[in-house]
Amino acid sequence: MRHSQPIRFPVCPMCNEAVEIKTAKTDHDGKAIHEECYVRSLEAKKKLFLVPPKKQRRIERPA
């Protein structure tokens, strides 16, 4: 009996879960990402631009 190498799945940058190659989508950087997460990331980016300046200021910056 020989050990089989564990299959390494790329990790989705959005949810930190393993991405199955079969179902994976690649983002613009060529990284594997869940299709659902990819869509969500696109929506998140859109929202960033839609956030009014007041709300963006709430992001705390370390001094």
Residue closer to Zn ion by CB (options 39, 51) is: 39
- Burial 14-50, CB ≥16 within 10 A → b, else e: beeeebeeeebeeeeeeebbbeebbeebeeeeeeeee
Task: Give the shortest CB-5-to-Zn ion separation in angstroms.
Answer: 24
Structure tokens at 5: 């190498």
Closest distance to Zn ion from the beta carbon of 41 (Å): 9
Residues of the shown chain interacting with Zn ion in the complex, contacts defined by CB under 5 A:
12, 14-15, 34, 37
The least distance separating Zn ion from the CB of residue 29, rounded to whole angstroms, comes to 15
Nearer to Zn ion, 17 or 51 (CB): 17
Rg, C-alpha atoms of the chain: 17
